[in-house]
Chain A
Amino acid sequence: MGAWYELIYFAFRNVKLRIGLTILLFFVLAAIFAPLFARYDPNAYVGPAAHPPSPEHWFGTTTFGQDVYSQFAHGLRLTLIVGLLGGSIGTLIGILIGLISGYRGGLLDEILNMITNIVLILPTLAILIIIAAYLTVRGFLVQSVFIGLTAWPWAARAIRAQTLSLRAREFVDLARMSGRSSMKIVLTEIAPSMMSYLFMVFILQFGGAILNAATLDFIGLGPTQAFSLGLMMNNAVLWAALELGMWWWLIPPGAAITAIVGALYVMNVGLDEVFNPKLREL
C-alpha cells in the first residue's frame, strides 16, 4: 500500500511525467468529447471545396468539401482506440511470452523462441494485406487484433533478454529462498523491475499500431465504415494538400499523431525516474 502511495506521489512530482500526461489526457478528452461537437458526417460533402478554417468549418474543408474538424474528431477517437487495442494486445503477448520464456528457460524457452523467430521473420505487412483483403467487412476491432498479433515478437525478445539478466540477480535468489512460487516471483520481482521498460514497449507498440493502421488505411484496407487520422493524412497526401497549400487538412492529423507519441515518450523518461529511487533524489 505505502509503496504504491509513494510511487504515485513521486509520479505527480515529476515534471516530465506531468507534461506527458497532460498532453495525452488532452487528446484522450478530445477523442471523447470532440465528436459531440462535430456537426457533420465526416464522409458527407457539406461545404465549399478546399476552404480554409472559418466559423462555419473550424478546421476548413477538404478538396471535396468534407468538414475537416468532423473527420479529425472521429479519426482521433478511432486512432486512439486502434492504437490502444493493437498496442495492448501486442504488449501483452510480448510480455507473456518474454517473461515465461526468460524465466522458465529450458525446452519451453526453445519452443517459444522458435515461434517468436518465425513470427518475427514473417513479412508482417504482406500478411496483414492478405488477411485484410479476404475480409469484406472490416471493423477497427479486427484491424486492431491483427496488428497486435503480428507486432509482438520484438517485444517478446527484448523482454526475454531482460528477464534472463534479472533472473540471475541475487534478489531473485532471495525471493526463491523465501519460498515464493515462480509465478509470484515473475509478477512481484521481475516485472516491477522492468516496469519503465514495459511501458516503453507499450509506447512503441502503441505508436507502431497507429502507424500500421495508417498504412493499411492508405492502401484501402482499413475499416470499411469508419474514419481514422491515418486515413485523413493519407487522403491529404494523395490529393496533394501540401502542394496546394491546404495546411489545415494535413497538420491536424499529423500534429496529433506526433504529439501523442511524443507525449508517451516524455512520460517514459519521467517514469524511469519515478521507478528508480536512485534517480529521484537528483
Chain B
Amino acid sequence: MLALESVSKIYRVGVLGLGKLTAVSEVSFEIGEKEIVALIGESGSGKSTIGKMILRLIPPTSGTIRFEGKDIFSLKGKAVKEYYRKVQGVFQDPFASYNPIFKADRIFTMIREEFFPEISRPQWERKLEEALRAVGLNPPDVLGKYPHQLSGGQLQRFLIARALLLDIRLLVADEIISMLDASTRVDVLNLLAELRDRGLSILFITHDLSLGHYISDRSVVLYKGRIVEMGSTERIYSRPLHPYTEMLMASVPRIDQKWTHGEIRVERNAVGPSLGCVYYGRCPIAQEICARRVPPLIEVESGHQVACHMRT
C-alpha cells in the first residue's frame, strides 16, 4: 500500500548551510494492508522524520514515497486532499497538537469544513459521535472543552477519532503513548490493534521495544537514519541478528527478567562520519571491513533482513 524507496533526508546545517546532517539514509520498506509496522529507534534515529515525510510535511532529499503506486510528492491540489483522506497522523505530544486558544473539538470542525462541506449538521453530529465512541470517549464529557481541560489520553483519542472521520487506510502514530501514564497507555494500544483488525494499516513509531512487540506485525529497526534490521516482529524479538538490536533487547528493562550485569556500557566518542557501518563505533563484534563498507540489507531468512557484515 505504502512504499518507501531509497528515501533520504539531509538537512543543511551550520554557517551558510555548508554542513550536512543526514537524518534518514536510503530507507526502503513497505507497509501492507491491515498491518501494524513498528518503526523502532532511539533519539536521532530519524524515525520521526520518516513519519513526517510519509505525511507530506517535509519533502525527502532523494528517493520516492509511493502510496497505492503514486509518488505522494507529485500530488497536486485535489489529489493532496484525497491523500489526506486516506493517510493521517497522530503525534507524540497531545497538547502540542492543539492550538491552545481554541477548543479542542475544533479539529473536527476543520475536517468537516475541508472534507464534508455538504453533510447536514445532524448527520455530522451522528458521525462524530460514532467516531468518538469508537475510540472509547463519551461525547458529552469531552466536547466543547479547551485542550488544557482534557487529559493527555483524551486528547490523543480525539486525534485518533479525527482520523476515523475520514476514510483512512493508513495511520502514522508517532510515539503517541510515550507521554501517557501506564494505566491509560494500554487502552490506546489496544485501540490501535482493534483498528488494525477492522482494516487499517498503522505505522507505529516508538522507542519502546515492549510496546512495539505488543501490537506490531512487523518491525523495522533504525539506527542513525539507516535500517539495521527488519522482519516479522516475532522473529526479530526471538532471534535478533544485528548487534544493535541485540543490545536494545538486552537493555530494555523488563519486569520478568533482570538485566544481565555486563560491564557498564556507555557511548564513547563516536567515530567521525565513516564510510562504513553506522554502528561501527559501538559495535562489539566489528571487524575491519565494517569501517570500510556500508553493509547492505540482506535477507537471511524469509522476510527477515539484516544489515551486518558479520551476521549475513
Chain A residues within CB distance 8 Å of chain B: 3, 169-171, 173-180, 189, 192-193, 195, 275-278
Contact = CB atoms under 8 A, between A and B. Distances in A.
Nearest to B98: A171
11 contacts: A3-B103, A171-B98, A173-B55, A175-B110, A177-B89, A178-B115, A179-B80, A179-B114, A180-B114, A276-B100, A277-B100
A180 B100 contact: no
Contacts of A169: 96
Contacts of B110: 175, 178, 180
Contacts of A170: 91, 93, 96-97
Contacts of B84: 177-179
Contacts, number: 60
Contact of A178 (B52, B91, B98, B111): B111
A189 B99 contact: yes
Interface residues of B, number: 29
A179 B101 contact: no
Candidate in B80, B97, B159 with the most chain A CB atoms within 10 angstroms = B97
Interface of A (DSSP majority class): helix
A260 B99 CA distance: 32
Contacts of A277: 100-101, 146, 148
B13 interface: no
Contacts of B81: 179
A54 to B, nearest CB: 53
Contact of B99 (A171, A178, A180, A278): A171
Nearest to A180: B114
A167 to B, nearest CB: 11
A179 B166 CA distance: 12
Contacts of A275: 101
B88 interface: yes
Contacts of A278: 100, 148
A176 B101 contact: no
A193 B99 contact: yes
B135 to A, nearest CB: 16
Contacts of B214: none
A176 B58 CA distance: 11
